[in-house]
């Protein structure tokens, strides 16, 4: 039985992130229009905890604190 990398919607490779303790996957990335005083676009990312299935939204600053997990074939026993 061979190893396969996880693929998401439309066959794209899933991105996994970690804070050193938990493993997360990017569930969605969204950009919405801001119609307030400072007009523009607001981008955010929805992440899902791979163990508990909990979801959270994060801005770019929070997302920068996480590290991407590499998809090396050596680690996919």
Q: State the pLDDT at residue 2.
A: 37
- Each residue's pLDDT tens digit, 39-56: 899 888 999 999 999 999
Q: State the pLDDT at residue 14.
A: 78
Across 50-76, average pLDDT: 82
Domain ranges of the chain: 26-69
Say how far apart CA 3 and CA 68 lie, in whole Å.
Answer: 20
pTM equals 0.63
User: Residue 71: is its pLDDT beyond 80?
Assistant: no
**Helix locations, the chain, DSSP H:** 60-63
Beta bridge partners of 24: 17, 49
């Amino acid at each position: 039985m061979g190893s396969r990398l996880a693929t998401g919607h439309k066959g794209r490779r899933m991105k996994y992130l970690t804070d050193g303790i938990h493993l997360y996957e990017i569930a969605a990335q969204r950009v919405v229009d801001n119609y307030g005083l400072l007009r523009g676009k607001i981008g955010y990312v929805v992440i899902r905890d791979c163990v508990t299935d909990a979801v959270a939204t994060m801005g770019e600053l929070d997302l920068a604190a996480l590290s991407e997990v590499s998809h090396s074939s050596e680690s996919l026993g």
